[in-house]
Amino acid sequence: MSGKLPQKKFFRQRAHSNPFSDHHLDPKSPAEMDWSAHYPAFVCEENPTESSFDMPTKQVGRPLMKKKIEFADLGCGYGGLLFSLSTLYPETLMLGMEIRVKVEEYVREKIIALRLQHPGQYQNISIIRMNVMKFLPNFFEKGQARKHKARVITNQLLAEYAYVLRVGGIIYTISDVKDLHEWMVKHLDEHPLFERIPDEEVEKDPVIPIVRTETEEGKKVERNKGEKFLSCYRRITN
Amino acid sequence: MAYRLPFGKLLHHPARNLLILVYGSHFQALDSSTGAIIASTRTLYSDNADHEPTTPQVKYISTSDVQEASVRAITFHDKVDGSLLASSGEDKLLKVWDIKEWKLLSSRSVPKRVVSIAFNNDGSQILTADKFGDVYSYPTNPENTSELLLGHVSMITDMVLTPNNKFVITADRDEHIRVSQFPKGYNIESYCFGHTQFLSTLHILPWDSDLLLSAGGDDFIALWDYVPGRLIQTLDIKNFIQNQIIEANESNIDATNTIPESKNIAVMSISSSIVMQHIAIIVEKFPGVLILNWDAEQRHVKYMQTLSLNANPLDCAYDLRGNLWVSSSSKDGGDIDEGLITLFLRQDNNKYEKVSRDHQLVYQINKFGTMKIDELPDLYTTSQLRKDPTDWRKQKNQNEEEEVPEEASEESTNETISLPKKKTLPKGESKRKKKRIRTE
């Protein structure tokens, strides 16, 4: 049995989706989100026993999950980063978030296909279509996430990112557009809840090479042989 | 046909017998213990026909100082000596008034239209929440600069600053209630999740200030322990509204404006009185006021009664004695006209008694209040916040169903887990493009 990988060319969509238009919202709150369909391999068997990493999430009328999502890729595009990190951190639940319908569909189908092609693998990643700018806190509890990749940044939104990131959690930003990079750095530098991680330390992070080469931004730059700008910030308290 | 412009907003001072009544860009101030109009931004209304011999002694506020468009937000600085009033609205001007001398202290521009406004406890700062989704803090002294506290990627519809000034709570059109720390608004304390429709109003219970009531386009009002973001109670109010409408129809009371056009309800405002721990709720285009009382033991609200009106209310406010002042939209000179303001006096048994429009407390305001206009503006904007999103999943399924026949046979011959190759195009893509993909 082999799942065919979806082909990107059938899933093209213009790069912009209006984040201010009204979309349907589910769930109402993190407690009501049913993640069991997203990560069937991580659903607790009858009696949830000890979990290695985190306490199981107690959910209202939902199957208990062994773990909570800890990596979020906000604006994940075609999911390159997710697929690479999936095998690097097979025990960490990761979620991509993308607003474009067709792009979300592509990633969803690729996950299904990869799970079939590689039994036991790619169980820890999933994708959801959503508007990060509006509904991020509906999906994550306070301090739930450990890592975050984001390119949508304003002063006001950083408060929401800080809310879902636990103290010590890391936000990765990457862009091939210098102006955008500078914009993100400026806002993150100014924000009292984030501190920049020094470059030497950044280079030691095993996630970094992947963020560089596997994100949509990264891939595009590889192709174009252009520059790419990366910066990482740690969530601190204030 | 000429109308009296109704009062769109009422605000009672929490410590003094002072009621501010807002109409359009103007306001009038009333002594709620005597019914005397104290101040007005505009010449008092007079219909000439029977000219009143005793025109009230009113302090007029200079016309050049009034707001240039409708006032949407107004608040007192109710601590210390409580002599400040701040207002803002459609004209994007933030004004601060001295309510002892009844004069304008300052006026400044703000970037967006303000929907809610609050003073901090020492009166040094004014918080504004705007339609763009941002909350700013302005120093009361206009020479100092403002600060952006927080922002939603949505239209903020209401904001409250908690009595201890530790949190600022904001509600938006996208079902969110956010509890942010004050003044460090970048620290989000919690979210209160549970609404499924737009929010329109937030109200902290003055007798239990850890608790918050919220309402909007949902059928219920919600009670929250807001610091942890915990939902305590939802109280369905739709039933009370519907029952009332049925009764009204059966008894054939004024049917001109009693029936809401849709089955959806939109809560416009929540007020409360600390005297009897009552809560009054105004629902858009519903000719009555829902009164709830408080069960202190269970920390719950309970439905008590509906005060019926012959016209649709726009806002209400409790005075210090627990009397309820209600403004209505009523046509000038109509037979069933109850006046601009309907007063419900609190009785000893915690019931309310509606007084006549000539009662001394409401006589002056009903006689001289507001102004005459030719056409009433749209007074009901709350329900316009309701969203009508297209469900992309349904839309997608529909599209797929439409296109399936061609593809079905091909699909079925594929392996069980094959992926569909031909994707449906989002609505609006050209046929030419579709064709190209098909031929690939």
3-state helix, strand, coil in chain A (%, to 5): 35, 20, 45
Split at pLDDT 50, 70, 90, the class of A180 is: confident
Q: What is the pLDDT of residue B413?
A: 36
Chain A nearest-CA distance from B307, in A, is: 33
Q: Give the per-residue pLDDT at B52.
A: 53
pLDDT digits (tens, 9 = 90+) for A85-123: 999 999 999 999 988 888 999 999 999 999 999 999 999
State the count of interchain CB pairs (< 8 A) between A and B.
107
Q: Could you tell me the two tokens for B132?
A: 């763009």
Q: Are residues A156 and B148, on separate chains, in Cβ contact within 8 Å?
A: yes
Q: Are B306 and B228 in contact (CB under 8 A)?
A: no
Question: Strand locations in A134-213, DSSP E?
Answer: 145-149, 165-175, 194-196
Q: Distance (Å, rounded) from C-alpha A208 to C-alpha A219?
A: 14
The nearest alpha carbon in chain B to A109 belongs to B419
Q: How far is A230 from chain B (nearest CA, A)?
A: 24
Nearest CA in chain A to B151: A156
Q: How far is CA B52 from CA B47, B48, B364, in A?
A: 9, 8, 10
- Give the mean pLDDT of A138-164: 82
pLDDT at B249: 57
CB contact under 8 A, A137 and B422: no
CB B357 within 8 A of CB B259: no
* A22 in contact with B, Cβ within 8 Å: yes
Beta-carbon count within 10 A of B316 CB: 24
Q: B50 phi and psi, to 5 degrees? A: -120, 90
Which is it for strands B84-89 and B93-98: parallel, antiparallel or unpaired?
antiparallel
Phi first, then psi, for residue B345 (nearest 5°) are -80, 140
- For residues A49-72, give the mean pLDDT: 63
The whole-angstrom separation of Cα B117 and Cα B130 is 9
Residue A168's pLDDT band (cuts 50, 70, 90): very high
DSSP 3-state of B108 = strand
Nearest residue in chain B measured CA to CA from A194: B186
- Return the SS3 of A166: strand
Q: Which of residues 24-53 of A touch B (CB under 8 A)?
A: 24-25, 28-31
Arithmetic mean of pLDDT over chain A:
82
Would you tell me how many other CB atoms lie within 10 Å of the CB of residue B91?
A: 20
As a whole number of angstroms, the distance between CA A236 and CA A170 comes to 10
For residue A162, is pLDDT > 90?
yes
Q: How far apart are CA B207 and CA A176, in angstroms?
A: 55
> Are B194 and A156 inside 8 Å of each other by CB?
no
Q: Which residues contact B252 (CB under 8 A, 6 or more apart)?
A: none
CA distance B214 to B216: 7
Q: Which residues 113-152 of A are in CB contact (within 8 Å) with B?
A: 113, 116, 129, 133-135, 137-138, 142
Query: What end-to-end distance do the CA atoms of chain B give, in Å?
Result: 66
CB contact under 8 A, A28 and B193: yes
pLDDT of residue A177: 81
User: Buried (b) or exposed (e) across B129-149, using 16+ Cβ within 10 A?
Assistant: bbbebbbbbbebeeeeebeeb
Which residues of B sit within 8 Å Cβ distance of A?
133-134, 148, 150-154, 174-176, 178, 180, 184-188, 190-191, 193-196, 387-389, 391-393, 396, 415-423, 426, 437
Tokens of B427: 């609505």
Number of neighbouring beta carbons within 10 Å of residue B392: 15
Is A102–B423 a contact, with Cβ atoms under 8 angstroms apart? yes
Q: B184–A238: do the CB atoms touch at under 8 Å?
A: yes
Q: B393 and A24: CB-CB below 8 Å?
A: yes
Burial B348-380, CB ≥16 within 10 A → b, else e: eeeebebbebeeebbbbbbbbbbeeeeeeeebe
pLDDT of residue B334: 45
Gap between the Cα atoms of B321 and B344, Å rounded: 11
CA distance B107 to chain A (A): 26
**Beta strand ranges found along B90-209 (DSSP E):** 93-98, 103-109, 114-119, 125-130, 134-139, 147-151, 156-161, 167-172, 177-181, 188-191, 199-204
Q: Identify the residue whose tokens are 């016309």.
A: B63
Instruction: Name the amino acid, one letter, at A53.
Output: F
Q: Which of A105, A116, A159 sits opposite B186 (nearest CB)?
A: A159
Give percent above pLDDT 90 in chain A. Answer: 37
Instruction: Report mean pLDDT in 10-residue bins for chain B, 440 residues.
Output: 87 94 95 95 74 70 87 85 88 94 93 96 94 94 89 93 97 94 95 94 97 96 97 94 67 48 82 96 94 95 94 94 92 56 92 92 90 83 78 52 41 38 40 39
Which positions in chain B touch A101 (Cβ < 8 Å)?
392, 396, 426
Report how far residue B21's alpha carbon sits from residue B19's, in angstroms, rounded to the nearest whole number. Answer: 6
In this structure, are strands B84-89 and A229-235 parallel, antiparallel, or unpaired? unpaired
Interchain pair B421, A10: CB under 8 A:
yes
Percent of chain A with pLDDT over 70: 80
